[in-house]
Structure 1
Amino acid sequence: MNVPELTEDENLGLYQRATENGAEWWRVSVADRPENYRLEHGVDDSNGTGSVDIDLVVDAENLRAKLKKWRREGFAIDTPDAADEAGAAKRVAFMPELQRVAALASAAKRHSQVEGAGAGETVRIGRVDVPCGVDNPLVPRINPAYLFSERFNDIVEDIVENRRVMLIGHTGAGKTSLIEQVAARSHHGVLRSNMNGQTTVGDFVGFWTVKGGETIWVDGVLPTAMREGLWLIVDEIDFAEPSILAALTAVLEPHGRLVLKEKGNEIVAPHPAFRLFATANAVGAMSQFRHLYQGANLMNEAFLDRWRVYMLDYLTPAEEADVLMRTLAPHMTRALATTLAAIAADCRAAFAREDLSSAFSTRRLLDWAELMLRTGDPERAAGPAIYAKVSPEDAALIRGIVRHHIAPAA
């Protein structure tokens, strides 16, 4: 994208984009030195409050590079046209009208759910009633300490509506566990297919084999899930082979059918309970982190447009502290949990800055905390739970973060 020569009128101002945590912004103003610019960064929470967390001065060339980067990341300069009164009136009127029709749509959906309540049992997850399946060995175990955040409600509603849901985010952000815990509470069996570079289209769709002198067809995970009404999670779909993605494309529509060409063009129709999910680390809004996930493939917009794509970040420190307390009750106290959650948050910030090459999952944090309660020693517990799993350089940095939050025992 070509960026014009910098002028105060065109490039000074506030650049904003919406995120799950609030409005992220950069403010550009003139610095004290000639031909230099001051850049301030912050994130406003849901109450519209926030503070400056980055404050720096750059020259004109660096600002041009920043402007290109911000445009790629979805930032737009806030330039309301006060002279356009008709346009302003339309903007003001849009939200009340949207809220009115959204309330009507929600009421109609609730009425439809009440009329169909006799069709089967449901379970309340968040603020959504999810139809229950039939217990079978593939139903995941319920994690009673799992925290269903308010931001998960739209995802759960999409599951009920049989949308194709893709969850993107860093390793350990809880993408797969969210789907599994919804399935656990609603008694739906789950199949997982990990695109680890060794998964073939035969594993995924099916293949012919010889057994007892007879040639038989063996269904892969996709037709198995479709026939039996299971939930299929395609983990790390950005590592999948093109032939697997081609097979998936046929069933991405809510009632899409699979054609088994190798089996005489047999058509597999989806069971009503069948659901299809995918997880990815470096797709769409996460593409900027592709270099952290070597081997991840590009995915075109036509493929992504067939999914509802949600970006999942790690739990907030307050949420993670709650999970620690619920999982390790009654021994985990609020003070301990708050400190451990802050350490995890600092490690993730270091990973985002690329100071750390390994992510810090909630699973890793829980393992460390559990071992810490057993040993009474954070450093000793961190050995098998953290340090032995990462490079010496990462271990040294994490050890420094831990010591910043936890003073050595007297």
Structure 2
Amino acid sequence: MNAPELTEDERLGLYLRNTDTGAEWWRVTVADRPQTYRLEHGVETAQGNASVDIDLVVDEENLLAKLKKWHREGFVFEARGASPQADAQQRAAFMPALQRAAAARRNAGSAGEAFGASPTDAASAPTGHSVRIGEIEVPCGVPGPLVPRVNPAYLFSERFNDIVEDIVENKRVMLIGHTGAGKTSLIEQVAARAQHGVVRSNMNGQTTVGDFVGFWTVKGGETLWVDGVLPTAMREGLWLIVDEIDFAEPSILAALTAVLEPHGRLTLKEKGNEVVAPHPAFRLFATANAVGAMSQFRHLYQGANLMNEAFLDRWRVYLLDYLSPAEEADVLVRTLAPHMTPTLAATLAAIAADCRAAFAREDLSSAFSTRRLLDWAELMLRTGDPERAAGPAIYAKVSPEDATLIRGIIRHHIAPAG
């Protein structure tokens, strides 16, 4: 707001700023005498009411000074003729209206009605059955060899509900977070319960665009086309997880871009421009360690590529952190019951949390996954010796320097046997 350059019409209206107690406003209108202006001031109450507590008339010079002062104080021009009472009512009505709309959407009975998703997306399972995962009904697929095994102790946190609903609605989901945070296992456990086959493609530097899209080969004197993992998943209605996508070659990312829209098709140029349409059950996922909100940790993941916002905007990107100590203790008890007690589990979860904090500080060069913690705990229950169990479960998997630091963390939490 550059006050001296405003016309009279542009000066008239409502100026607002939010405060800790509500919305504060000034309203500018024309006064009775020429070249004078009426200024009214008010603050919205907790109940959404707005009453005038200052009412004065100023000349043009004073108005310009006021406009500059309001600009410095963070007031924003709203609209000519706006009503403070109407504005307060509109703000107060937003959350109730949003909650009603969300409830109506939940009660619609079919995820396919949401956001223009087609019925074939929501009803991708030919069986017509569904399974409840968290708060979301997920249509079931067909049992097969590619369906992951169910981990009955897997904990579906409430924070996963949005991700599961995105899967039902056929959104492209990217999960970012540190190694061992459970990005891939979340997708696999949803698929396991809903009976959908999963294929994974790890962008470890050895996966080529031919492996991903397809290639020609000679077999028995005959030239044959072999589908890569992407067209295979699209044709057969599998769930494809592109692991560590921030290590993928540009040619692979280019192939992916064509199918990032929910109904996007893949053109196999090497096969005479054959078009592969996605099966209704096809879902596409990616995981990454050093993308978006995780970019600050790129130095911990040598070789990770920068990904531009245009590419990321084609995904729903969720940041997955490690389980909280309370959640991880719950997983330990559920997985290793009845021998794993809540007291033992709480101590082990605290050790894992301290190791992860050391990793974030770069004191440790290796992450501490829930899988590693479970393996250590299981072996510990068998041997009765935390140090002995840590040998094959932890120490042998890390550098000597990391092993020394982890051993110190363990001894901080577990006193040696008397």
TM interval, shorter chain, is 0.7 to 0.9
Please report how far the alpha carbon of residue 106 of structure 1 lies from its aligned counterpart in structure 2 after TM superposition: 2.4
1:387 aligns with 2:389: no
Structure 2 CA distance for partners of 1:180 and 1:379, relative to 1, 3 Å: same
Please report how far the alpha carbon of residue 312 of structure 1 lies from its aligned counterpart in structure 2 after TM superposition: 0.6
Aligned mates of 2:186, 2:127 — CA distance in 1:
26
In structure 1, the residue matched to 2:97 is 97
Aligned mates of 2:304, 2:379 — CA distance in 1:
34
Instruction: Report Cα offsets for 1:279-329 as digits up to 9, x if no partner.
Output: 000001111100000000000000000000011111111111111111111
In structure 2, the residue matched to 1:137 is 145
Note if contact 2:246-2:289 (Cα within 8 Å) is conserved in structure 1. yes
Aligned mates of 2:335, 2:127 — CA distance in 1:
35
1:376 aligns with 2:375: no
In structure 2, the residue matched to 1:106 is 106
Aligned mates of 1:399, 1:80 — CA distance in 2:
53
1:285 aligns with 2:297: no
Aligned mates of 2:288, 2:77 — CA distance in 1:
45
TM-score (norm: length of structure 1): 0.77
- Count the aligned residue pairs: 333
1:164 aligns with 2:187: no
For 1:180, what is the secondary structure of its paired residue?
helix
Please report how far the alpha carbon of residue 206 of structure 1 lies from its aligned counterpart in structure 2 after TM superposition: 0.1
Structure 2 CA distance for partners of 1:148 and 1:212, relative to 1, 3 Å: same
- Matches of residues 123-202 of structure 1 in structure 2 within 5 Å? 123-202=131-210
For 2:242, what is the secondary structure of its paired residue?
strand
Q: Residue 270 of structure 2: which of 247, 257, 262 is its match?
A: 262
1:232 aligns with 2:240: yes
Aligned mates of 1:82, 1:246 — CA distance in 2:
43
Aligned mates of 1:105, 1:330 — CA distance in 2:
41
Aligned mates of 2:191, 2:378 — CA distance in 1:
26
Note if contact 2:112-2:169 (Cα within 8 Å) is conserved in structure 1. no
Instruction: Report Cα offsets for 1:105-146 as digits up to 9, x if no partner.
Output: 222255978x99897011111111111111111011111111
Structure 2 CA distance for partners of 1:96 and 1:375, relative to 1, 3 Å: same
- Matches of residues 2-401 of structure 1 in structure 2 within 5 Å? 90-110=90-110, 120-401=128-409
In structure 2, the residue matched to 1:70 is none
Instruction: Report Cα offsets for 1:169-188 as digits up to 9, x if no partner.
Output: 00000000000011111111
Structure 2 CA distance for partners of 1:111 and 1:257, relative to 1, 3 Å: closer
Q: Unaligned stretches of 5+ in structure 1?
A: 1-12, 15-78
For 1:321, what is the secondary structure of its paired residue?
helix
Structure 2 CA distance for partners of 1:222 and 1:366, relative to 1, 3 Å: same
Aligned mates of 1:90, 1:148 — CA distance in 2:
37
Please report how far the alpha carbon of residue 104 of structure 1 lies from its aligned counterpart in structure 2 after TM superposition: 2.4
Note if contact 1:250-1:256 (Cα within 8 Å) is conserved in structure 2. yes
Aligned mates of 2:263, 2:76 — CA distance in 1:
48
Range with bigger deviation, 222-231 or 384-393: 384-393
Aligned mates of 1:402, 1:82 — CA distance in 2:
55
Aligned mates of 2:200, 2:186 — CA distance in 1:
13
Aligned mates of 2:205, 2:107 — CA distance in 1:
46
For 2:363, give the aligned amino acid.
D
Structure 2 CA distance for partners of 1:272 and 1:112, relative to 1, 3 Å: closer
Please report how far the alpha carbon of residue 396 of structure 1 lies from its aligned counterpart in structure 2 after TM superposition: 1.3
Note if contact 2:127-2:142 (Cα within 8 Å) is conserved in structure 1. no
Please report how far the alpha carbon of residue 368 of structure 1 lies from its aligned counterpart in structure 2 after TM superposition: 0.5
Note if contact 1:165-1:278 (Cα within 8 Å) is conserved in structure 2. yes
Aligned mates of 2:285, 2:145 — CA distance in 1:
20
For 1:104, give the aligned amino acid.
A
Aligned mates of 1:373, 1:405 — CA distance in 2:
17
Note if contact 2:127-2:140 (Cα within 8 Å) is conserved in structure 1. no
Please report how far the alpha carbon of residue 390 of structure 1 lies from its aligned counterpart in structure 2 after TM superposition: 1.1
In structure 2, the residue matched to 1:37 is none
Please report how far the alpha carbon of residue 400 of structure 1 lies from its aligned counterpart in structure 2 after TM superposition: 1.1
Note if contact 1:130-1:160 (Cα within 8 Å) is conserved in structure 2. yes
Aligned mates of 2:139, 2:103 — CA distance in 1:
23
Aligned mates of 1:111, 1:151 — CA distance in 2:
19
Q: Percent identity?
A: 84
Note if contact 1:82-1:88 (Cα within 8 Å) is conserved in structure 2. no
For 2:407, give the aligned amino acid.
R
For 2:153, what is the secondary structure of its paired residue?
coil
Aligned mates of 1:264, 1:244 — CA distance in 2:
19
Aligned mates of 2:167, 2:363 — CA distance in 1:
37
Structure 2 CA distance for partners of 1:317 and 1:219, relative to 1, 3 Å: same
Aligned mates of 2:203, 2:111 — CA distance in 1:
41
Instruction: Report Cα offsets for 1:248-307 as digits up to 9, x if no partner.
Output: 000000000000000000000000100000000000111110000000000000000000
